[in-house]
Amino acid sequence: MVPPLYFIVLGAVVFLIATLGFLTRRSLIQALMCLELMTSAVVLTFLAVGRTMPDGGLQGMALATFLIVIGAAEVGMGLAIVMLYFRRHGDATTDDIDLLRG
Amino acid sequence: MTGLVVFFAVAGVIVASSVAMLVSRDFVRSVLFLLLALCSFSALYALLDATFLALLQLFLPAGAVTVVLVFVVMLTRPKVADYRTLLQRQTLYAAAAVVAVSAPLLDALMRMVATLPTTVTPAASTRDLAIALMGPYAAPFELASVVLLAALVGAIYLAREAE
């Protein structure tokens, strides 16, 4: 069996790569793609930690199920907002969206 | 032993495709790299004996979400990113922030791993998960369906053509 530490470190590394992308990419679509990658990395961590528990990973699997569902809902909403913004302004980059800037 | 080989092969694919997704200038290619990464994650879930989660990962994030992403890319036709926007001043700050976060994060993870039990227990089956989702986790399960419904209605409301 592969030690859970490997999965956890991989999850952290992918999460950090996705964070870097989320902070640097200017397109909202790519920001959402990074969010999706982050969700998968967190699910991997949940499953890896859950697998070491005495219940055979049941708790981790249940939490991961909810996490995937929430992730799907979040991306769906985010893309709807991107579409709406694009239709109104013709582009959707994080540089343009500064309506709330003080 | 085979597990380790599979793990390192899949981990390499995931890290490479995530980085490729970030540096790719073309959006469609970027989505395809994301698809590869998400499918590889499903292999890792299967390696952790979470068969149902592996299939869910293939259907939802890898299947449905990437299709929607491709649709949005096609509909909005975003401009191909300039190389200048890949390497900008804020990249440096972002990298510094990520490095600053990674040290305490990895430290906390290492300390958590040290506390994990090392005895190997038989894996919970999909049947066990189904019973758990209908039993002790019934309330969050129903709540998740409400969240999905709300997201569905909200997405339709936001994306519909204005009269």
Predicted confidence (pLDDT) at residue A55 exceeds the cutoff of 90: no
- Give me the residue spans of the domains in chain A: 26-89
Asked if A58 lies within 8 A of B124 by C-beta distance, the reply is: yes
Predicted confidence (pLDDT) at residue A3 exceeds the cutoff of 90: no
Backbone angles phi, psi at A93, to 5 degrees: -120, 155
The mean pLDDT of A33-57, rounded to a whole number, is: 91
pLDDT band at A11 (very low <50, low <70, confident <90, very high): very high
Rounded to whole angstroms, how far apart are CA atoms B112 and B157? 43
B1-88 belongs to which CATH class? mainly alpha
In total, the C-beta contacts within 8 angstroms joining chain A to chain B are 228
Residue of chain B whose alpha carbon sits nearest to that of A65: B53
> What dihedral angle (degrees, nearest 10) is formed by the CA atoms of A49, A54, A55, A61?
0
Query: Distance from CA of residue B30 to its chain's centroid?
Result: 14
**Chain B interface mutation, best of A9, A59, A65, highest count of B Cβ atoms under 10 Å:** A65
Q: Which residue in the set A4, A20, A58 is minimally distant from B132, CB to CB? A: A58
Tens digits of pLDDT across chain B (163 residues): 788 999 999 999 999 999 999 888 788 899 999 999 999 999 999 999 899 999 999 999 898 999 999 988 888 877 666 555 556 677 888 888 889 988 898 888 888 888 888 777 888 888 989 999 999 999 999 999 999 999 999 988 887 876 5
Angle B22-A26-A17 (CA atoms, 0-180°, nearest 5)? 30
Rounded to whole angstroms, how far apart are CA atoms A8 and B9? 16
Quote the minimal CA–CA distance from A38 to chain B in Å: 10
Sign of CA dihedral A21, A23, A27, A33: positive
The interface predicted TM-score of the complex, written ipTM, equals 0.91
- Give me the residue spans of the domains in chain B: 1-88, 124-163
